[in-house]
Chains A and B, each alone.
Chain A
Amino acid sequence: MSGSGIASSHIEAVIRERLNSTHVQVDDISGGCGQAFEVIVVSPLFTGKNVLMRHRLVNAALKEEISAIHAFTQKDYTPEEWEKKQQQ
């Protein structure tokens, strides 16, 4: 598995491009080896979709990246939900 490390910036770029995302937060939680990421995705594409459908969208957009890393965890919000969350 060594050598398959992926940069946070790459994940972020892919999410912005493929998911029409208005806000992306990518945390490398691997301790530097690029194998584990925690992401927050805010996108209008999530509107009207339940949590399972949202995750499937993100998984599909990051199919290659996720299969190359060890751990991937995500939280997905619509722009409206994200704004509400920020105000809390």
Chain B
Amino acid sequence: MSFARSLFGTTRTRAYVGATTVRATFSNRTPLSFRILQAHQARYLTEHARSAIDNAIKSSSVVLFMKGTPEFPQCGFSRATIQILGLQGVDPEKFSAFNVLEDNELRQGIKEYSNWPTIPQLYVNGEFIGGCDILIAMHQSGELAELLEKANVLVPELVENAETK
């Protein structure tokens, strides 16, 4: 964890803090719909939730739905995913994280939206990439580096450094 963090130091943290403010989108929903959703254990997506998630996914090139925040992940899988994105050199300017623990509608809705049962979930340029297991596998095989480079979401200095090596 300290390794991933030390790659970028404060720049990264600051950008991540900026990224977390995007979460406010989800705090604006009415408490009533939230309660109804819980009461019925709804398994469908409300229009509101779907459009909020649409907007969330469009908010940055790299979007992570996670438990906790990048600074304080509240689940080992979310933590591992943040570490991988850090090691890969994802540009914090192009990254947003949404904390599903802060919003139950998002927590349930994102599972339906992506047709994916677990958190974290990663989107790159609007496309669902996968959860933690997939990111670990793609990280190890080199596919993730390729995908992120093609998507043009890596920190520019790191790309230059890599080329001079």
Residues of A within 8 A of B (CB): 51-52, 55-56, 59, 63, 66-67, 71-75
Chain B residues within 8 Å of A, Cβ to Cβ: 77, 115-118, 128-134, 137-138
Using known A-B contacts A59-B117, A73-B133, A74-B133, determine if residue A51 contacts B77 with beta carbons closer than 8 Å. Answer: no
For residue A59, which residues in chain B have a CB less than 8 angstroms away from its CB?
A: 116-117
Distance A56 CA – B130 CA, assembled complex (angstroms):
10
On chain A, the residues within 8 Å of B118 by CB distance are 66, 71-72
A55, A66, A72: which contacts B130 (Cβ < 8 A)?
A55
A60 to chain B, nearest CB (A): 9
Assuming the A-B contacts A71-B77, A73-B77, are A55 and B115 also in contact, with contact meaning beta carbons closer than 8 angstroms in the complex? Answer: no
Closest to B137 in A: A51
* Cross-chain contact A75 with B134 (CB below 8 angstroms): no
Residue of A nearest to B117 (CB): A66
Instruction: Note all chain A residues with C-beta closer than 8 A to B137.
Output: 51, 75
